[in-house]
Amino acid sequence: MNSFFQQLLPKEKKFFTYFEKSSEILVEISKLLNELVTTSSKERRAELIRQIEKTEHDGDEVAHQIFNELSSTFITPFDREDIHALTSAIDDIIDFIHGASKRIELYKVEECTPAIVKLSELIVKSSEQLQRAIKELRNMKKVHQMREALVLINSYENHADDVFDSALAALFEEEKDAIKLIKMKEVLAALETATDKCEDAANVIESILVKSA
């Protein structure tokens, strides 16, 4: 039934629907990650890792739909390069969130540090602001609110850099177990990179705004 209604949508309108779905998935997976790094229940943690895995697959499916639509659509609502770049950036955020959860699982990280928790919170905030901006792409009537969201994403990314740098410095200063140090560094790096990718997505949206002005 969903496929039938998608057929009725004008080609150029489908992209907005896909992007809105993609941003919805992004917020969902970011919140799952935040719960993963804050829960003390092993059972709940295992369940959350499975949910993150499934949600990552859902994100991949929407990205594939956008790329397929892009290859078969002559008229697009904004530049094809921007559609491709925004899709890739959102997909990258989801992938790095998934990657962080896999590292937590594979490395058997029993207790997440305050830095890991803080980075996951910043990812949630960035994802919510991306969703806020993406919802307005359809009409472009609230450009001020869109730019406000993009500025917030940039500030969250800067904050994430500070958290990552401080956590890494403390890790090298205090952690004597080289294997544990490497494990924690990889988890932190995956989370910090996810915030970088949020900023990449924000930059694409800013490019779309400039071109449509």
Residue ranges of domains in the chain: 2-200
CA torsion 37-40-43-49 (nearest 10°) is 0
pLDDT tops 50 at residue 110? yes
Tens-digit pLDDT profile for residues 71-86: 887 778 888 899 999 9
- pLDDT class of 211 with cuts at 50, 70, 90: confident
pLDDT at 11: 52
pTM to 2 decimals?
Answer: 0.91
pLDDT at 12: 64
pLDDT tops 50 at residue 4? no
Yes or no: domain 2-200 corresponds to CATH 1.10.260.40: no
From residue 63, how far is each of 80, 86, 103, 174, 180 by CA, in Å? 14, 10, 24, 41, 35
pLDDT at 77: 83
pLDDT at 5: 43
Grouping H, G, I as helix, E, B as strand and the rest as coil, residue 152 is: helix
| For range 134-151, the mean pLDDT | 91
Of the chain, the percentage scoring pLDDT greater than 70 comes to: 94
